[in-house]
Amino acid sequence: MLDPQLLRHDLQGTATSLARKGFQLDVSHYTSLESRRRTLQQQVEELQAKRNGGAKAIGMAKSRGEAVESQVAQMEQVNQNLKIQEVELTQLLEELQYFQACIPNLLQSDVPDGTSEDDNQELSRWGEQPQFDFEVKDHVTLGEQLHGLSGATGAKVTGARFTFLQGDVAKLHRALAQFMLNQHTHNQYIEMNVPTIVNAASLYNADKLPKFEKDLFKLEADQAWYLAPTAEVALVNVVADRILTEQDLPLKFCAHSLCFRSEAGSYGRDTRGFIRQHQFEKVELVQMTLPEDSEQALEAITQDAENILQALGLAYRKLVLCGGDTGFGAMKTYDLEVWLPGQAAYREISSCSNCGDFQARRMGARFRRAGVKKPEFIHTLNGSGLAVGRTLVAVMENYQQADGRIQVPEVLVPFMGQAFIETAQFTLAQS
């Protein structure tokens, strides 16, 4: 959430900054809400003062033995008016809170202008795209030939955008997640095992509600429970409602988890294969830092994700997202796109963002500097390190062999105990 003082004292400037993100701030509506809030707040405070003064006067009159019936009647009317005004103020504050919760984060000044992914700027490339002397296959064809991947079985058991993995392909998927966790914990990340179900308050703190309600799977229960769209939700909430010390920071967490997204705005995209699923796995990276350290931390967390791609020998490119393509809660975002020979294209495999104090304000996550009384909001960052399913796709397509097998990247051989992915004996349903 933005600092409310920005709206109160620099409304037009804030609106101009938000326009870089393609967000049109309803200035007139906010002005109306804020004007009503100030009026109601003043009325409530005046009635409270009148009530308190009246109660004191009645007490003094009683002590002198004076009749107080008329004063009591007046105070009953004051109390009744006060209750009405307090209810109205509470409702207005909730409306104002919702309005503010729907406003995205401001961009860093160095984020390039633009309106869509077409305006994102490529910063660098790493690795060589593999060359093949045979017809390249995509991961779906490879997976079906190996009897290791089946969207048809997933569709039969659950529905579209669910996939079965089997045999060595499933084993490779598991090895990738374990390899990623080992790399990140070696790099001083604290490993967490987090809940798959989260509550509405945690989603709000992590800026997923109310903005992304349609992309979430909500459980039918008495409580407002949701399937987590990413481990980021649980990881950032570790510090919710806490005041840390300056010495506590930075904090670096990682977690491998199931993730669930309805992909409400993505129907018709990547319907074939393992790229865009309702259920997928990801190794998530989260950092909490001092405000002055978050820009450098974004470079570091992105490099942590790049290190995984480099260790696997996968060619990729790094982009900085333009204003119009930067996410709701982010100040600045880098995307990593891995080369997929089966599509002859680079596809996103990691997104790393600096959220500044946007999430921290929502969840009350602060720290206190040594010798300073007033606490400050921490800065939070998140990144995929990496999306496990998309990494599986990249390994399958980049390491495919002429005979249909998949070579196991050297760094994964100790996890797999084998050098090649072989065909499974049992045949899964094919598309």
pLDDT digits (tens, 9 = 90+) for 300-337: 999 999 999 999 999 999 999 999 999 999 999 999 99
Contact between 34 and 137 under an 8 Å Cβ cutoff? The reply is no
pLDDT at 271 over 80: no
Query: What pLDDT was estimated at residue 280?
Result: 97
pLDDT at 431 over 80: no
Backbone angles phi, psi at 401, to 5 degrees: -110, 165
pLDDT per residue over 106-148, tens digit each?
999 999 999 999 999 999 999 999 999 999 999 999 999 999 9
- Report pTM: 0.94
Query: What pLDDT was estimated at residue 267?
Result: 61
- Concatenating the DSSP letter of every residue in 130-199 gives ---SS----HHHHHHHTT-EEHHHHHHHT-TT--EE-HHHHHHHHHHHHHHHHHHHHTTPEEE---SEEE
pLDDT at 265 over 70: no
Sequence ranges of the domains in the chain: 26-101, 117-421
- Average pLDDT value for the chain: 95
Please compute the mean of the pLDDT values over residues 265-274 and round it to a whole number.
72
Please compute the mean of the pLDDT values over residues 245-256 and round it to a whole number.
98
Query: What pLDDT was estimated at residue 264?
Result: 64
pLDDT per residue over 137-190, tens digit each?
999 999 999 999 999 999 999 999 999 999 999 999 999 999 999 999 999 999
Task: Give the architecture-level CATH label for domain 26-101.
Answer: Orthogonal Bundle (1.10)
pLDDT at 283 over 90: yes
Residue 95: name the closest of 10, 29, 48, 2 by CA: 29
Per-residue pLDDT band for 268 (boundaries 50, 70, 90) equals low
Cis peptide before 210 (omega within 30 of 0): yes
- Pairing mode, strands 366-368 and 243-245: parallel
Q: Rg of the chain over CA atoms, in angstroms?
A: 27
Q: Is 367 exposed, middle or buried (0-12, 13-18, 19+ CB in 10 A)?
A: buried
Contact between 337 and 129 under an 8 Å Cβ cutoff? The reply is no
Query: What pLDDT was estimated at residue 263?
Result: 78
Assigned fold of 117-421: BirA Bifunctional Protein; domain 2 (3.30.930)
pLDDT at 53 over 80: yes
171: left (phi over 0), alpha (psi -120 to 50) or beta: alpha
Lowest mean pLDDT among 64-68, 124-128, 366-370: 64-68
pLDDT at 83 over 90: yes
Please compute the mean of the pLDDT values over residues 213-224 and round it to a whole number.
88
Query: What pLDDT was estimated at residue 397?
Result: 98
Query: What pLDDT was estimated at residue 90?
Result: 96
- The two structure tokens encoding residue 367: 């720290």
Lowest mean pLDDT among 56-65, 171-180, 203-212, 413-422: 56-65
Query: What pLDDT was estimated at residue 67?
Result: 87
Instruction: Check for a shared fold between 26-101 and 117-421.
Output: no
pLDDT top residue among 263 and 107: 107
pLDDT per residue over 5-44, tens digit each?
999 999 999 999 999 999 999 999 999 999 999 999 999 9
Please compute the mean of the pLDDT values over residues 276-299 and round it to a whole number.
98
